[in-house]
């Protein structure tokens, strides 16, 4: 039986999510919610829902439907309040990243999910591709020995992609909070927990962004070693969306990249100069996220990238932002 969803929040990304939901047989949308009538109408059209399944608020949708779960793709500022409302109604929750603006609010949502015995999952979809899984296994089995230095680079010319006048240019911390959180989550997924971050962010002359669109960070790993991270939303040679990674260990080098945005042709892992065959995943990206969420609800098992697990990725991201603002290294609590 398909998991019955109420889907809330239909900006551009939320509308894009409708394609994913419609392509995932494990779920069924029984209601949509958005306070913007135009956005709500677009969602209704995408899903082919009757007017009585469309609501101006999540509360109204939950009262009128028999949904099992809520998919939250609204703006980041309302992720936590919407999640708390859904959990109070005893619904399972899948929420876009970042799932709260502060660590305290995120912890409150995690606590609410635990109290209601409901699944809370954060959509960190970059985990759901073959290359990160291969890298994680190789690091765990010691294929390159003790990891000493890691270099991660990301660059996409978002200014050119969006064109002038985009509201995205005014977002606070558009690189670190909206994009680098993917890379920091991949860092934790493949290499383990971080203990300290030191970050600098800036906005070069001529940037269309209001807030810093470029950043450089050093992240110390609990298992030893340091990650040197560089990210940019501005012009230059583009990487894949997951960035380009190089791991240097006591037994050799491992390089990898992932997620080129179109298919799996961008998945690549090279160990000591030899390209490896990667594991096959039945569903990748957000389809993998949604299928995993449905499976977690069905089995009662904590999913990959649960809210509890995602606290570390949020803490690292918020730590990088604070470090850049204060000009000092920041220790990360376990």
Structural domain boundaries in the chain:
3-118, 127-285+314-331
Q: Contact, 241 vs 222, CB < 8 A? A: no
What is the chain's mean pLDDT, rounded?
96
Mean pLDDT of 294-301: 97
The pTM for the full model equals 0.96
Counted residue by residue, the chain has a size of 334
- pLDDT tier for residue 70 given thresholds of 50, 70 and 90: very high
Burial class (CB in 10 A: 0-12, 13-18, 19+), 22: middle
Separation of CA 194 from chain center: 17
pLDDT band with cut points at 50, 70 and 90 for residue 148 = very high
Enter the tokens of residue 77: 């500022």
The partner residues of 123 in beta bridges, in order of sequence, read 96
Tell me what the mean pLDDT of segment 13-39 comes to. Answer: 97
Confidence band (pLDDT; 50, 70, 90) for 181?
very high
Radius of gyration for the chain, computed over Cα atoms and rounded to the nearest angstrom: 20
296 Rama sector, left if φ>0, alpha if ψ -120 to 50, beta otherwise: alpha
Distance CA 253, CA 278 (A): 17
CATH number of 3-118: 3.40.50.720
CATH architecture of 127-285+314-331: 2-Layer Sandwich (3.30)
> pLDDT band for position 6 (50/70/90)?
very high
% of the chain exceeding 90 in pLDDT: 94
Question: What pLDDT does 169 receive?
Answer: 96
């Amino acid at each position: 039986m398909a998991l019955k969803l109420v889907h809330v929040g239909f900006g551009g990304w939320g509308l894009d999510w409708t394609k994913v939901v419609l392509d995932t047989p494990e779920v069924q949308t029984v209601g949509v919610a958005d306070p913007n009538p135009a956005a709500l109408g677009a969602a209704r059209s995408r899903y082919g829902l009757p007017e009585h399944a469309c609501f101006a608020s999540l509360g109204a949708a939950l009262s009128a439907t028999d949904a099992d779960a809520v998919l939250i793709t609204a703006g980041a500022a309302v992720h936590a309040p919407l999640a708390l409302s859904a959990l109070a109604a005893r619904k399972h929750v899948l929420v876009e990243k970042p799932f709260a603006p502060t660590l305290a609010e995120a912890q409150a949502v995690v606590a609410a999910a635990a109290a209601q015995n409901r699944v809370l999952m954060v959509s960190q979809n970059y985990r759901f591709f073959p290359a990160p899984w291969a890298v994680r296994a190789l690091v765990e089995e010691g294929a390159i020995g003790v990891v000493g230095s890691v270099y991660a680079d990301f660059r996409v010319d978002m200014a050119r992609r969006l064109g002038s006048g985009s509201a995205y240019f005014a977002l606070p911390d558009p690189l670190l909070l909206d994009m680098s959180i993917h890379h920091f989550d991949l860092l934790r997924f493949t290499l383990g927990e971080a203990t300290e971050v030191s970050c600098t962010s800036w906005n070069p002359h001529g940037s269309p962004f209001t807030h810093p669109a470029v950043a450089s960070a050093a992240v110390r790993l609990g298992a030893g070693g340091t990650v040197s991270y560089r990210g940019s939303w501005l012009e230059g040679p583009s990487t894949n969306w997951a960035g380009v990674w190089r791991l240097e260990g006591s037994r050799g080098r491992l390089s990898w990249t992932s997620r080129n945005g179109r298919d799996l042709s961008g998945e690549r892992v090279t160990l000591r100069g030899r390209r490896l065959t990667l594991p096959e995943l039945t569903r990748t990206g957000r389809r993998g996220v949604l299928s995993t969420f449905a499976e977690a609800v069905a089995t009662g098992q904590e999913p990959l990238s649960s809210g509890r697990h995602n606290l570390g990725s949020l803490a690292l991201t918020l730590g990088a932002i604070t470090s850049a603002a204060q000009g000092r290294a920041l220790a990360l609590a376990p």
